[in-house]
Amino acid sequence: MLTQAPRGTRDVLPADSYRWQFIESKMRAAAALAGYREVRTPVFEHTELFLRGVGDTTDIVQKEMYTFEDKGKRSVTLKPEGTAGAVRCFLEHNLYAEPLPCKMYYLNAPIFRYENPQSGRLREHHQFGMECFGAREATADAELILTAYHLLQDLGIGNLSVEINSIGCPNCRPVYHARLKEYLSGRMNKLCATCRERFDRNPLRVLDCKEKQCQELTKDAPSMLDLLCDECREHFEQLKGCLDQAGIPYRVNARIVRGLDYYTKTVFELVTRTEDGNLTVCGGGRYDNLVEQIGEQSIPAVGFGMGLERVLMLMDSEGIEIPKPTWYEVFVTYMGENRPAAFALVQQMRKAGIRADLDHCGRSLKAQFKYANKTGAPITAVIGDEEAANGTVKLKRMADGEEKTVAVADVCEAVKEMNS
């Protein structure tokens, strides 16, 4: 128990964190390129925010939230998604009073959902998300889709399918809801148990049910796209125009409805096809009414969330190598009595910006060599008795065995030269 992390959580080990840092730096760069700046919001919020913001008919609110009462008897919830917190932040700090759009991204935000842990499904995962407030034009939707697409391409993830759909707005969706319910009501006994429940709460979700029987059944269901109001249809046409112009492949998929209640008009997913089926790596859409639901201002917005674990999982399964940085540039070995000299040498190198270290565990010189080799340090420095007596250091380049003895004062220069 004490030495086991909670189910559905994962550690990132020191030897592996470079993989995270690599994708994070690509994500930051992609966001910056499109003018998005980082926002950081708390890990927990008032539960009410998610009830209102995510919608109480969603899977997340119905069964996945980590909710508890704090010592002040307030109900708080660990973030189950990134958008509601971003909206709360946008409103609390009156960011709408500044020139819009307000573009923000969050990176490595821990997200908590009480899910059944399995491949690609954790109880704590991390998301990169981008949100754009105050932009009603479809160019904003397209910019987000393109940024996510190019980022994943840049990371080497091929096989990407961009799936888009429009789920309309409060003007046209009720008409569709009614049609869909009419279609489903005669077929209720063939729906899975979950979908029978969804029928009243959120009939759209029946369309993206993963059960075969439901997928079969909804094949000929009416499509929202046929019932969009003029405004929504025009918006969707413009989005497609932008994507056509950018030349990325995409597919209109009427089954993409997304799990959250707050979406309007555009919804999209970036999906990869793997051996074990489809995996959604990024999902997002437009939420023109969410800001008003949480605050008072009516401000259109659009955004997406991308799971970092899923990005890494896909890179793994496609065999994409992430450049592994060297750990140490120099490892300093020494005869026991020269420990102070070795320590001083390490400090001297660190001051000069060289990643250096020495043995802290009392190893013999031979064991230090072995350890230095294991760390992969390209250069091993030696302070034996002779070197100590002469005020010198012996440097050995591990790749080709080349050795050089230099004065202590010249070590940093010599290391840089040997490593270049």
Q: How many helices (H) and strands (E) does the chain have?
A: 15, 16
Q: Which is nearer to ligand ATP, 122 or 332 (CB)?
A: 122
By CB under 6 A, residue 122 contacts ligand ATP = yes
Find where tokens 């490595």 sit: 108
Residue 310 in the binding site for ligand ATP (CB under 6 A): yes
From the list 309, 329, 359, 387, which residue makes contact with ligand ATP (rule: CB under 6 A)?
309
The candidate with the shortest Cα–Cα distance to 233, out of 266, 257, 269, is 266
Angle, nearest 10°, between helix axes 173-185 and 193-201? 140
Cα angle 329-331-336, degrees, rounded to a multiple of 5: 165
Coil vs helix vs strand at 292: helix
The DSSP bridge partners found for residue 128 are 306
Using DSSP bridges, classify how beta strands 301-307 and 75-78 pair: parallel, antiparallel or unpaired. Answer: unpaired
Work out whether 211 is an interface residue with ligand ATP (CB under 6 A): no
CA distance 269 to 22: 23
Instruction: Please report how close the Cβ of residue 395 comes to ligand ATP at its closest, in angstroms.
Output: 46
| Residue of 18, 21, 28, 115 interacting with ligand ATP (CB under 6 A) | 115
Closest CB to ligand ATP among residues 3, 116: 116
Residue 315 binding ligand ATP, by CB under 6 A: no
Please give the size of the binding site for ligand ATP, defined by CB under 6 A. Answer: 18
Q: Which is nearer to ligand ATP, 81 or 387 (CB)?
A: 81
User: Residue 167 or 383: which CB sits closer to ligand ATP?
Assistant: 167
**Binding-site member from 253, 266, 280, 333 for ligand ATP (CB under 6 A):** 280
Name the residue nearer to ligand ATP (CB basis): 272 or 338. Answer: 272
Residues 47-86 that bind ligand ATP (CB under 6 A): 81
Q: Which two tokens stand for residue 321?
A: 């190598």
Task: Rank residues 53 and 283 by Cβ distance to ligand ATP and give the closer one.
Answer: 283
Among 281, 315, 346, 415, binds ligand ATP (CB under 6 A): 281
Binding range to ligand ATP, per CB under 6 A, among 157-165, 248-256, 301-309, 314-322: 301-309
Confirm if 64 and 114 have CB atoms less than 8 A apart: yes
C-beta of 78: minimal distance to ligand ATP in Å?
A: 13
Q: Quick check: 283 and 268 in contact, CB under 8 A?
A: yes
Report the half-sphere exposure of 15 (CA within 13 A, side-chain side). 3
Q: Are 130 and 31 in contact (CB under 8 A)?
A: yes
- Give yes or no for residue 113 binding ligand ATP (CB under 6 A): yes
Q: Binding of ligand ATP at residue 261 (CB under 6 A)?
A: no
Residues 6+ apart with CB under 8 A from 94: none
Judged by CB under 6 A, the stretch of 101-109, 112-120, 344-352, 357-365 that binds ligand ATP is: 112-120
Q: Which stretch binds ligand ATP (CB under 6 A): 48-56, 226-234, 304-312, 400-408?
A: 304-312
The residues in 241-260 that bind ligand ATP, with binding defined as CB under 6 A, are 259
Task: Determine the interface stretch with ligand ATP among 121-129, 131-139, 238-246, 399-407 (rule: CB under 6 A).
Answer: 121-129
Instruction: Decide if 256 contacts 304 (C-beta within 8 A).
Output: no
Q: How far apart are CA 248 and CA 245, in angstroms?
A: 8
Instruction: Please select the residue that binds ligand ATP; options are 134, 283, 285, 303, rule is CB under 6 A.
Output: 283
CA angle, 115 then 120 then 121, to 5°: 5
Q: Which of 207, 288, 305, 381 binds ligand ATP (CB under 6 A)?
A: 305
Provide DSSP, 143-208. HHHHHHHHHHHHTT--SEEEEEEE---TTTHHHHHHHHHHHHHTTGGGS-HHHHHHHHH-GGGGGG
250, 270 Cβ separation under 8 angstroms: no
The answer to whether residue 151 forms part of the interface with ligand ATP (CB under 6 A) is no
Q: Which residues pair with 330 in a beta bridge?
A: 356, 379
- Closest distance of CB 139 from ligand ATP, Å: 22
Residue choice 121, 179, 233, 404 for contact with ligand ATP (CB under 6 A): 121
Chain contacts with ligand ATP (rule: CB under 6 A): 81, 113, 115, 120-122, 125, 127, 259, 280-283, 305-307, 309-310
